[in-house]
């Protein structure tokens, strides 16, 4: 089937490349000519493991192409996916749907055949109804169906997640929509991936519900870690003991500096706004958002404490290891590193950072931070090291070498990568989370 993906970012590009790999003919569209120019030269606009090879293979096979021209790209496409951004709207936290609705208008203006329009972007309940209204208002005489197909892939593991998903959710209101979506995902049917057909509104709610639940799970274990610190427990032992319960599960029970990234912060906020609009507030998620926001800055204060307090911290040099919100991505959106760096900069701390993939995106967002060329170069002369993102490159640092390079052997490990006893035996002042 010919399929069009409008929006060639983390979701659109990965989904497009994977669907091409399943054998479909894919055209990825973006309104950013620089992005499309790069893709047409075989350069990846984002870092995602395995993506460059997958794109190259499918371009070569003639199944994947890139363009900025929507009207000609959608000619003959059986399914047109909308995978554009839905960031927080400035001022009120609602999802900004202007990009989604803009694409719906563009499609309506040039649709010349029957097609299914699929929202893959994360959108609040009722957005599909509005997309349908926009398409009707465009006056198109063609048969169409608007389907919700939320995406659950994780950056850093996106290709595996798309090709072997826990489930595929398809919210459709008619048989035409369901039939075309069955065809799109037929290779995964054959793989026995569960396909969950729902109403369109349910599908939209599932995506936000899942993200809010995961954000709550992270926030829960973060607060338990704080309690461990005060009460004298070890959060690693506690989390394992809790997670071994099959009803709970061990995933998302890793304490850290607070959730960040391109999804959880904006999606929890948008869900709260939706719930408010429907007069059905989600008080649990309200608390999650509040706790998480204050946590990120609290992590900055933890570093200041490790430096000996506000007075001692001024003028000290601190190394940040890892800037992205998680490893294996270059995505800096809402990364906890931004809040930690801000608190430290405000306290007069000099910051040097190293991140394997995120520095290019990070630099304009953290103009006061000096980017370095390697973990060891970044560490040189530091009064403290803050491990913010658990990249593999930071998991087995040569501690002897680190100790020789730093001015003071202080490590604040916000991901509990290292073992407290070993670090202390190696002569480090070691601060972790909940241990
Ligand atoms: N990033 C993730 O891990 C992830 C996971 C699941 C769901 N989502 C959701 O998927 C959606 C996209 O997220 P993303 O991270 O890929 O965003 P992104 O910002 O990386 O990509 C969005 C792309 O859409 C393009 N775009 C905007 N308006 C356009 C238009 N009118 N025509 C063509 N292209 C246009 C932008 O130029 C950009 O390249 C969001 O709703 C997000 O919440 C993201």
Prediction pTM value: 0.97
* Mean pLDDT estimate for the chain: 97
Residue 207's pLDDT band, with cuts at 50, 70 and 90, is very high
CA of residue 363 to ligand 1 center, whole Å: 21
385 secondary structure, DSSP code:
E
pLDDT for 170-198, tens place per residue? 999 999 999 999 999 999 887 788 999 99
pLDDT for 376-426, tens place per residue? 999 999 999 999 999 999 999 999 999 999 999 999 999 999 999 999 999
Residue 55's pLDDT band, with cuts at 50, 70 and 90, is very high
For ligand 1, mutation pick of 11, 29, 161 (most atoms within 8 Å of CB) = 11
Nearest to 162 by CA among 191, 127, 202, 198: 191
Examine the pLDDT at 14 and tell me if it is beyond 90: yes
HSE-up of 324 (CA within 13 Å, CB side)?
Answer: 20
Give the span between the Cα atoms of 248 and 244, in whole angstroms.
7
> Where are the extended beta strands (E) located within 60-125?
64-67, 79-82, 115-119
pLDDT number for residue 224: 98
Nearest to 31 by CA among 83, 79, 76, 80: 83
CA of residue 330 to ligand 1 center, whole Å: 15
Ligand 1: residues within 6 Å at CB?
6-12, 29-32, 35, 83-86, 99, 102-103, 121-122, 151, 153, 155, 262-263
Give the span between the Cα atoms of 182 and 177, in whole angstroms.
9
pLDDT number for residue 191: 78
In this structure, are strands 429-431 and 384-387 parallel, antiparallel, or unpaired? Answer: unpaired
In this structure, are strands 168-171 and 195-198 parallel, antiparallel, or unpaired? Answer: parallel
For ligand 1, mutation pick of 5, 6, 7, 330 (most atoms within 8 Å of CB) = 7
Contacts of residue 128, defined as CB under 8 A and 6 or more positions apart, other chains included, come to 119, 146, 147, 148, 171, 200, 201, 204
Mean pLDDT confidence for 279-302: 98
Q: Which residues are catalytic?
A: 263
Mean pLDDT confidence for 133-138: 96
Nearest CA to ligand 1 atom 10: 121
């Amino acid at each position: 089937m010919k399929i069009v993906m409008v929006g060639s970012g983390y979701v659109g590009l990965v989904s497009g490349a994977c669907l091409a790999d399943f054998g479909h003919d894919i055209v990825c569209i973006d309104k950013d000519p620089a992005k499309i120019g790069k893709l047409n030269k075989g350069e990846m606009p984002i870092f995602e493991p395995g993506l460059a090879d997958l794109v190259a293979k499918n371009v070569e096979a003639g199944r994947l192409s890139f363009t900025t021209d929507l009207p000609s790209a959608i000619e003959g496409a059986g399914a047109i996916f909308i995978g554009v951004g839905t960031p927080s709207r400035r001022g009120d936290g609602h999802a900004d749907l202007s990009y989604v609705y803009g694409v719906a208008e563009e499609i309506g203006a040039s649709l010349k055949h029957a097609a299914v329009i699929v929202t893959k972007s994360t959108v609040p309940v009722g957005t599909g109804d509005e997309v349908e209204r926009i398409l009707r208002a465009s006056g198109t005489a063609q048969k169409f169906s608007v389907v919700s197909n939320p995406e659950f892939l994780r950056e850093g593991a996106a290709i595996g997640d798309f090709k072997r998903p826990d489930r595929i959710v398809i919210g459709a209101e008619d048989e035409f929509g369901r039939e075309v979506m069955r065809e799109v995902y037929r290779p995964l049917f054959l793989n026995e991936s569960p396909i969950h057909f729902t109403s369109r509104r349910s599908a939209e709610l599932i995506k936000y519900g899942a993200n809010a639940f995961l954000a709550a799970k992270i926030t829960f274990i973060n607060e338990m870690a704080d309690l461990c610190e005060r009460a004298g427990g070890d959060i690693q032992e506690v989390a394992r003991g809790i997670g071994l319960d099959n009803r709970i599960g061990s995933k998302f029970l890793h304490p850290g500096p607070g959730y960040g990234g391109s999804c959880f912060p904006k999606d929890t906020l948008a869900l709260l706004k939706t719930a408010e609009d429907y007069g059905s507030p989600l008080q649990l998620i309200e608390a999650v958002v509040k706790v998480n926001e204050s946590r990120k800055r609290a992590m900055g204060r933890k570093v200041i404490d490790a430096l000996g307090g506000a007075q001692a911290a001024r003028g000290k040099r601190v190394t940040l290891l890892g800037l992205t919100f998680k490893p294996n991505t270059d995505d800096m959106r809402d990364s906890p590193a931004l809040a930690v760096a801000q608190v430290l900069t405000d306290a007069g701390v000099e910051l040097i950072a190293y991140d394997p993939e995120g520095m290019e995106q990070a630099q304009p967002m953290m103009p006061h931070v000096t980017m370095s060329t390697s973990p060891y170069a970044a560490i040189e002369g530091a009064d403290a090291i803050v491990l913010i993102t658990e990249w593999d490159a930071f998991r087995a640092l040569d501690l002897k070498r680190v100790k020789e390079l730093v001015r003071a052997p202080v490590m604040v490990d916000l991901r509990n990568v290292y073992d407290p006893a070993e670090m202390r035996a190696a002569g480090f002042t070691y601060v972790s989370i909940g241990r």
